[in-house]
Structures are given as C-alpha cells and as structure tokens.
Amino acid sequence: MITIRPAHERGAANFGWLDSRHTFSFGNYYDPRHMGFASLRVINEDKVTPSAGFGTHGHRDMEIITYVLDGALEHKDSLGTGSVIRSGDVQRMTAGTGIRHSEFNASEQDSVHFLQIWILPEAEGLEPGYEQIAIAAAAKQGQLRLVGSRDGRDGSVTIHQDVSLYTTSLAAGDRVEHTLAASRVAWVQVVRGAVDLNGHALTAGDGAAIRDLDTLSLRGTADAAEVLVFDMAA
C-alpha cells in the first residue's frame, strides 16, 4: 500500500529569513494524522537567506540528519565540532544525552536549501556524536546509494536505529528498484524533479508511506530528479 503525502499539504512556517515546509507535525504546525512514520519523526525542507540561521539551541535523544541540496550550511556544536555542509553532503548528529548547536547559512550572497530529518533513536541516553560524508554526484546517478545505516556499512553515516537511508538521482527514463524485506516499511521523499513510484506520479516535496509492498520501483520522469528512500523496521 502506498499513501501519498502531497507537498502542498505540508505544514509551513515563514519567518523572513527562514522558509520551511514540514512533512510531519513540528513547531507550531500540529496535525495528529501526521506525527511521523515508523521511527521517522521529522522531515523539514528549509530555505535560509544569506548569513542567517538558527542560533545555538539544544536537542536530546534524537538522530538528526542534515542533507544539503543547494548552498552551504555552517555547523557548530558543543562537542567542539565545526564544519560546512555543502550540496551532496550528509551529516548525522546524535543528540543523545544532550547537545547544543547552531546552523547558519555560510554564504553572504546565496540562500541555502536543505532537509533536516529527525529519527527516533533505538535507545535513550546515547553518547552525543557527529559524522559527515560527501557523496559524489556519480555515485547516486541512476542508482541507489546508501548514505545512512545502523552499522555504517559501505561508507554511510551511522544511524542509531534500524534504518537504511538511500539517495538517488534520476534522469528522465532512469529506473531503480529496491526490495523491502518482510516486516519492513519505507518512506520515499522526492527532493527535486518528478518521478513515478510504482505507478504514482510524485513531484518535488511529495512523500509516500509504503507498507505491505515487496518492491519499490522509481522511474525518473524529469531530468535531475532526486529522491530519498528510508527502509525501516515496521
């Protein structure tokens, strides 16, 4: 079964410096029908104006994934970590027992466009941690590239939950398939362009919850489509 979450139905917040869309309930946006899916709790699509950003604030007991689409996001945290996350980069931050961090647009001229994803951890009170990888464009073109996993296999970031996160870029006509094992569910998030998911047309910002399905089939229907696939325990 595939249940579509249309982009235009997402929650929204606009503070001038930040334009955000919320796939699931977040902040002042609350919808009891959309509180998350399996261990996936937040998918926020954020656009931040030049030099603006989120001042130092705290998190705990959450796995936080940042996926940058365009621009550069500067990160600093209470672990002493400082980095710039650029287009194609994936960052994982384990909030665990508590972490404080800030995120700012690293450019004085260009906006930054990114997804922030929250995943509920498999245990509370984990040691806070940070990890970042760069994914070459060729590594995800026309194929599924693992970027996050429970065991950090294949050079992916380690997510402290039974989740495998894939990314793919699809030109028009490109097709990829992913098999779901028994007792697994999936969430598909289109971040650019347009695709066909098992006969369902999806465009940028659309999401889809997948249950009781053996195989996901994604076909690009517009050039430069980009998709995230979350394979999760039910």
The helix or strand, by DSSP H or E, that contains position 91, with its residue range, turns out to be: strand 89-94
Backbone conformation region of residue 61, classed left if phi is above 0, alpha if psi is from -120 to 50, else beta: left
Whether pLDDT at 80 is above 80: no
DSSP 8-65: GGSEEEE-SSEEEEESS-BTTB--TT-S-BTTEEEEEEEEE-TT-EEEEEEE-S-EEE
Tell me how many helices (H) and strands (E) the chain has.
Answer: 1, 22
For a pLDDT cut of 90, what percent of the chain falls above it? 83
Q: Extract the tokens encoding 155.
A: 């050079």
What is each CA distance from 201 to 6, 11, 97, 138, in whole angstroms? 11, 21, 41, 25
CA–centroid distance for 219 within its chain: 20
Q: What is the pLDDT of residues 30-41, one digit of tens each?
A: 999 999 999 999
Tell me the average pLDDT across 98-106. 83
**pLDDT for the residue numbered 101:** 77
**pLDDT for the residue numbered 65:** 97
Closest of 47, 74, 65 to residue 133, by C-alpha: 65
**pLDDT for the residue numbered 132:** 95
Closest of 226, 114, 97 to residue 166, by C-alpha: 226
Number of independent structural domains in the chain: 1
203: containing domain: 2-233
Task: In whole angstroms, give the CA distance from residue 182 to residue 152.
Answer: 22
What is the domain-level CATH number for residue 42? 2.60.120.10
**pLDDT for the residue numbered 46:** 96
Tell me the average pLDDT across 123-129. 94
* Mean pLDDT for the chain overall: 94
Q: Extract the tokens encoding 81.
A: 């970590």
**pLDDT for the residue numbered 55:** 78
